[in-house]
Chains A and B, each alone.
Chain A
Amino acid sequence: MLQQIKQWIARRRAGITGNIAPENTPKPKTPGDQLLTECRLIVLDLETTGLHPGKDEVIAVGAVAISVGAIDLSDQFDLVLRRPELDITQTVLIHGIGPEALTQGHETEDALLFLLEWMNGDPILAYHSAFDQKFLEKTLKAELGYTQNHTWMDVADVLPAFFPDAKTGGKGLDHWADYFGLEVSARHHAASDALATAELTLIALNKARKEGLKTLRELHDKLRYHRRLRNIHHN
């Protein structure tokens, strides 16, 4: 995949890709009549320096794509962004891509542009997505001036919506991963957590199909209903 990014950046540097400006990246899609069995979904996880979007920064982005109901491992995103101002060595900015291959200073922008292009405007799922959404939106705005709204869905809402009776012993990713017996290869590694989240999403989508849910909108509505129900109980 790094090869892909390198090539993409090289093309961009050489002006072959044309002028991809943030405003020219693919338009975010809204949940409509796309069939769940056919559409592409992004499952994403961020690694950050801390919990506060105000002062903390994104370290790494890991994401996989679910296409036609399966995780396609040839279509994934796994990149460590070390922000220069946070990095003591200030050299290797994009992990694995040597500084010699890049002109220092623009790596984060390029990587984020590539992420936007790769996501293709498809809906984004994440575990406790509000957190990832805030960080990603903040970073995109700061680096690229990008402010478009993407469709986000929280897998932490999706699971209890489809498995209301599951005794997971908690609400975390680990609780659900344990509940379904998943093996997470490297917990807290962005890409690895993204894959675990995607696997849980597949389990939920399988259940959704059996409950007769067909479209992205139906899924979106079910989540909204479920969230409202939960809020009522909490109040």
Chain B
Amino acid sequence: MAAANQDTTRPQNTRAIMVFLQSHAPFSNMDDDHLARFAEHATLRFYADGDVVLSTEDGIVDKFYVVKQGRIRGERHNEKADKTETTFEISQGECFPLAAIIGERPTRTLHRAAGDTFCLSIEQDAFITLISESEPFRDFCLRGVSSLLDQVNQRIQTGAMASMGSSISLSTPLERYALRNPIVCNPDLPVRKAVARMHENNVGSIVITDDVRHPIGIFTLRDLRTMIAEETCSLDEPVGQIMTKNPCYLPVQADAFDAAMLMAEHHFAHLCVVDEHKRLIGMVSERDLFSLQRVDLVNLARTIGTATHIRTLVSLRTDVSRLVDAMLAHGADSGQVVKIITTLNDVTVRRVLELNIKKNDPGIAFTWLTFGSEGRQEQTLLTDQDNGILFQTPEGMTDDQVREKLLPFARTVNDELAQCGFTLCKGNIMASNPKLCLSDHEWDDWFIRFIDASTPQNLVYSSIFLDMRAVFGPTDSLNELLDKVLARIQKNALFQKMLAGNALQRKPPLTMFRNFRYVTDGKKHSLDLKRQGLAPFVEAVRVFALANGVKNANTLERMSELVGKGIFDDKDANAWKDAYSLIQAIRMRSHQEMLERGEELTNLIDPNDLNPLDRRILRESFRQAQRLQQKLEITYQL
């Protein structure tokens, strides 16, 4: 009798409210006693569709609300457009108005019931007691939705970490690493003396600096070996003759991720770290970054980059997948991970090209272009080929003659890339397609036609060809081409408007009632995270980027540049970036899970398989996509 069950002493309705609260964050993390306190002090109110729940004229907010059933819409009047905009949607299990009750001020947003709605509320004094006693509740109220995002990221990390067992963060700034004090010399020093200095200090490299300590070159033991073996230079000549010029460097504010990416791209084991005046202040090595990790991005990139046979490249693909797991575990966000995948894919593509040139050199310089997600540096494990070739026709040859030489080469490369896991493009958007293996003039004509004759088919292709990047070969001719294309689009308001109209074709998967709208084909209850979730962001951002002369193809970076140009509001852009990254994160996690189960990768997920927190965040992310599309509609008056 003494150990009377707590549950039976609480009234049924109190228990029922506790059960309801427990299925939603932050209540899911709160103690039973605190939940019981909430339930016992709560008041239940009803609002019919359209009823005002909280108004800006109500004075200081004195209640904290949780939606028990139905939805609440936030409304603000947009003076510019002279219309009312929905700024947020709060649905079952979610709380409001956080900022106002914490700030002890009136709300700045009209809260209106969207559909018949029941809300639980507690008075301010009960709210304050709860905040002071429950840590999860306090954390949530003070940090709002960002704490939810943290929870998601934490879970992504712990999930992946279980198999890794280490917790160093890639976001750690370089200044927190013990930077080596680099051994330096000036370029006039004879090689013999430079080597002696390296020997005295027992190091494998020396940085060559100028009078103001700017790093101008690097010389390593490997360079010494090559020099002696190939007799390229004598030991008495100045080290400036033989050093590797323009060494890679990063500012001290950069983080470990930036350093790892730069090393992976260039296959360097060392990077110079400089201050704001670009003066050398230290060195960071691959080993410094990855001393605690088993999976090594730089090493993997180097192994790929030096593989001597296509078979090796194929076998390395599983390592790429393992690395993605590891990166998620080490705190890389989805934006970082897609860049890692893209970098490793780039290295693979380059290596396949190099191996083929060695075997069978077409004898003509060319630039290997990638389009679409690879062009945007947004590849995940599920990826297919979208590529093309840009060349400059040597004198005395015709474009067709060059093409004749390049096409068989491109065919082999496409096939070998397919063996490495880059699925052949169903639409034949590949370098071996004669229509996409073009000279600089031909590409220019191609884009003129593309922009002037904005046929529906062309608009569909805009997501591929207007996100373009060079992976291999000279980049100057591509830059010239891009400048011309951008200038044309900026002048062509009609094309912009059609692009915008096309970008609105893909609606975020939310119904009028803010429930998920499922794909109509295939499985029931599934969402296509790529086509329905990410595409609305990518497409809308592309329109704004192209219309405003942003050359970058990466969606997140395009958004940053649009903020810089004053096109996007800083806060809006951050919300959109977060939303985009979270959809991407959920998509990648689902890919990793499919891979573990040995299933074929798809972009389809059933939101019912997600936990309530992820579902809520997914819904909020889709709503952000709707807002971005609204901006497009207003800008282009669609």
A residues lining the B interface (CB < 8 Å): 1-2, 62, 64, 69-74, 76, 78, 95-96, 98, 100, 180-183, 185-186, 189, 191-192, 194-195, 198-199, 202-203, 205-207, 210
Residues of A near B9 (CB, < 8 A) are: 2, 96
List the 6 closest pairs (A to B, CB-CB), nearest first: A185-B16, A202-B46, A78-B11, A71-B44, A191-B12, A70-B45
* Cβ A195 vs Cβ B13 within 8 A: yes
* Cβ B12 vs Cβ A78 within 8 A: yes
Residues of B near A73 (CB, < 8 A) are: 13-14, 17, 39-44
List 9 additional A-B contacts (Cβ < 8 Å) besides A62-B12, A69-B45, A195-B16.
A73-B13, A73-B44, A74-B42, A76-B11, A185-B12, A185-B20, A191-B13, A198-B44, A199-B118
How long is the Cα–Cα vector from A207 to B48 in the complex, in angstroms? 8
* Cβ A191 vs Cβ B45 within 8 A: no
How long is the Cα–Cα vector from A62 to B14 in the complex, in angstroms? 12
Q: Report if A71-B19 is in contact (Cβ < 8 Å); known contacts: A64-B13, A98-B1, A191-B11.
A: no
Cβ-based interface call for B611 (8 A):
no
* Cβ A76 vs Cβ B13 within 8 A: yes
Cβ-based interface call for B361 (8 A):
no
Q: How large is the interface on B (under 10, 10 to 19, 20 to 34, 35 or more residues)?
A: 20 to 34
Cβ-based interface call for B383 (8 A):
no
How long is the Cα–Cα vector from A69 to B43 in the complex, in angstroms? 10
Residues of B near A76 (CB, < 8 A) are: 11, 13
**What are 8 A-B contacts with C-beta separation under 8 Å?**
A73-B42, A78-B13, A185-B12, A191-B11, A195-B13, A199-B46, A202-B44, A202-B118
Residues of B near A71 (CB, < 8 A) are: 43-45
Residues of A near B401 (CB, < 8 A) are: none
Q: What residue of chain A has the Cβ atom nearest to residue B119's Cβ?
A: A70
Residues of A near B17 (CB, < 8 A) are: 73
- Taking a contact as CB atoms closer than 8 A, the residue among B8, B15, B16, B44 that contacts A96 in the complex is B8
Cβ-based interface call for B472 (8 A):
no
Residues of A near B45 (CB, < 8 A) are: 69-71, 202
* Cβ B51 vs Cβ A206 within 8 A: yes
Main secondary structure of the interface of A (DSSP, over half): mixed
Q: What residue of chain A has the Cβ atom nearest to residue B5's Cβ?
A: A96
B residues lining the A interface (CB < 8 Å): 1, 4, 8-9, 11-17, 19-20, 39-48, 51, 69, 116, 118
* Cβ A203 vs Cβ B8 within 8 A: no
Q: How far is the CB of A180 from chain B (nearest CB, A)?
A: 6
Q: How far is the CB of A47 from chain B (nearest CB, A)?
A: 11
* Cβ B44 vs Cβ A70 within 8 A: yes
How long is the Cα–Cα vector from A192 to B15 in the complex, in angstroms? 10
Q: What residue of chain B has the Cβ atom nearest to residue A3's Cβ?
A: B9
Residues of B near A180 (CB, < 8 A) are: 116
How long is the Cα–Cα vector from A199 to B69 in the complex, in angstroms? 11
* Cβ B1 vs Cβ A181 within 8 A: no
* Cβ A74 vs Cβ B41 within 8 A: yes
How long is the Cα–Cα vector from A195 to B116 in the complex, in angstroms? 17
Q: How far is the CB of B22 from chain A (nearest CB, A)?
A: 13
Q: What residue of chain B has the Cβ atom nearest to residue A100's Cβ?
A: B1
How long is the Cα–Cα vector from A135 to B170 in the complex, in angstroms? 70
Q: How far is the CB of B109 from chain A (nearest CB, A)?
A: 22
How long is the Cα–Cα vector from A213 to B600 in the complex, in angstroms? 62
* Cβ B116 vs Cβ A203 within 8 A: yes
How long is the Cα–Cα vector from A143 to B624 in the complex, in angstroms? 63
Give the number of A-B contacts (CB < 8 Å).
78
Residues of A near B44 (CB, < 8 A) are: 70-71, 73, 195, 198-199, 202
* Cβ A189 vs Cβ B12 within 8 A: yes
* Cβ A70 vs Cβ B51 within 8 A: no
How long is the Cα–Cα vector from A74 to B16 in the complex, in angstroms? 14
Residues of A near B46 (CB, < 8 A) are: 199, 202-203, 205-206
How long is the Cα–Cα vector from A43 to B315 in the complex, in angstroms? 71
Residues of A near B19 (CB, < 8 A) are: 185
Residues of B near A205 (CB, < 8 A) are: 46
Residues of A near B51 (CB, < 8 A) are: 206
How long is the Cα–Cα vector from A210 to B50 in the complex, in angstroms? 12
* Cβ B13 vs Cβ A181 within 8 A: no
* Cβ A181 vs Cβ B69 within 8 A: yes
Residues of B near A72 (CB, < 8 A) are: 43
Q: How far is the CB of B15 from chain A (nearest CB, A)?
A: 8
* Cβ B43 vs Cβ A70 within 8 A: yes
How long is the Cα–Cα vector from A194 to B11 in the complex, in angstroms? 12
Q: What residue of chain B has the Cβ atom nearest to residue A194's Cβ?
A: B13
How long is the Cα–Cα vector from A1 to B11 in the complex, in angstroms? 7
How long is the Cα–Cα vector from A43 to B1 in the complex, in angstroms? 32
Among B8, B15, B39, B43, chain A packs the most CB atoms within 10 A around the CB of: B43
How long is the Cα–Cα vector from A98 to B43 in the complex, in angstroms? 30
Q: How far is the CB of B437 from chain A (nearest CB, A)?
A: 60
Q: What residue of chain B has the Cβ atom nearest to residue A181's Cβ?
A: B69
How long is the Cα–Cα vector from A207 to B116 in the complex, in angstroms? 12
Q: What residue of chain B has the Cβ atom nearest to residue A200's Cβ?
A: B46
How long is the Cα–Cα vector from A100 to B2 in the complex, in angstroms? 11
Q: Report if A186-B4 is in contact (Cβ < 8 Å); known contacts: A70-B44, A73-B17, A74-B40.
A: no
How long is the Cα–Cα vector from A198 to B13 in the complex, in angstroms? 12
How long is the Cα–Cα vector from A152 to B70 in the complex, in angstroms? 30
How long is the Cα–Cα vector from A180 to B46 in the complex, in angstroms? 11
How long is the Cα–Cα vector from A191 to B12 in the complex, in angstroms? 6
Q: What residue of chain A has the Cβ atom nearest to residue B120's Cβ?
A: A73
Q: How far is the CB of A195 from chain B (nearest CB, A)?
A: 5
Q: How far is the CB of A234 from chain B (nearest CB, A)?
A: 30
Q: What residue of chain B has the Cβ atom nearest to residue A95's Cβ?
A: B8
Q: How far is the CB of B342 from chain A (nearest CB, A)?
A: 46
Residues of B near A199 (CB, < 8 A) are: 44, 46, 118
How long is the Cα–Cα vector from A78 to B9 in the complex, in angstroms? 10
Residues of A near B118 (CB, < 8 A) are: 199, 202
* Cβ B13 vs Cβ A182 within 8 A: no
How long is the Cα–Cα vector from A207 to B12 in the complex, in angstroms? 28
How long is the Cα–Cα vector from A198 to B43 in the complex, in angstroms? 12
Residues of A near B47 (CB, < 8 A) are: 206
Q: How far is the CB of A187 from chain B (nearest CB, A)?
A: 11
Q: How far is the CB of B47 from chain A (nearest CB, A)?
A: 7
* Cβ A182 vs Cβ B69 within 8 A: yes
Q: How far is the CB of B91 from chain A (nearest CB, A)?
A: 13
Residues of B near A203 (CB, < 8 A) are: 46, 48, 116
How long is the Cα–Cα vector from A10 to B16 in the complex, in angstroms? 29
How long is the Cα–Cα vector from A98 to B118 in the complex, in angstroms? 36
Residues of A near B13 (CB, < 8 A) are: 62, 64, 73, 76, 78, 185, 191-192, 194-195
Q: How far is the CB of A126 from chain B (nearest CB, A)?
A: 16
Residues of A near B15 (CB, < 8 A) are: 185
* Cβ B11 vs Cβ A186 within 8 A: no
Q: What residue of chain B has the Cβ atom nearest to residue A195's Cβ?
A: B13
Q: What residue of chain A has the Cβ atom nearest to residue B70's Cβ?
A: A181
Q: How far is the CB of A96 from chain B (nearest CB, A)?
A: 6
Q: What residue of chain A has the Cβ atom nearest to residue B17's Cβ?
A: A73
How long is the Cα–Cα vector from A100 to B1 in the complex, in angstroms? 10
Residues of A near B40 (CB, < 8 A) are: 73-74
Q: How far is the CB of A183 from chain B (nearest CB, A)?
A: 7
Among A70, A180, A181, A194, chain B packs the most CB atoms within 10 A around the CB of: A70
Residues of B near A64 (CB, < 8 A) are: 13
How long is the Cα–Cα vector from A64 to B43 in the complex, in angstroms? 11
* Cβ A96 vs Cβ B69 within 8 A: no
Q: What residue of chain B has the Cβ atom nearest to residue A79's Cβ?
A: B11
